Amino acid sequence: MTWTMEDFYKQADSASVNIAAGPAYLHTGNILPPRLWDDLRQEMQKRLRRATGEPHAIVTFEFGTEVRT
Q: What is the pLDDT of residues 19-32, one digit of tens each?
A: 888 877 666 777 88
Percent of residues, the chain, with pLDDT higher than 70: 90
CA 28 to chain CA centroid, nearest Å: 16
Does pTM surpass 0.95? no
Residue 59, CA distances (Å) to 30, 32, 43, 54 in order = 22, 18, 9, 12
Alpha helices (H) in 21-68, listed in sequence order: 37-52
Owning domain of residue 55: 1-69
Q: Domain tally for the chain?
A: 1
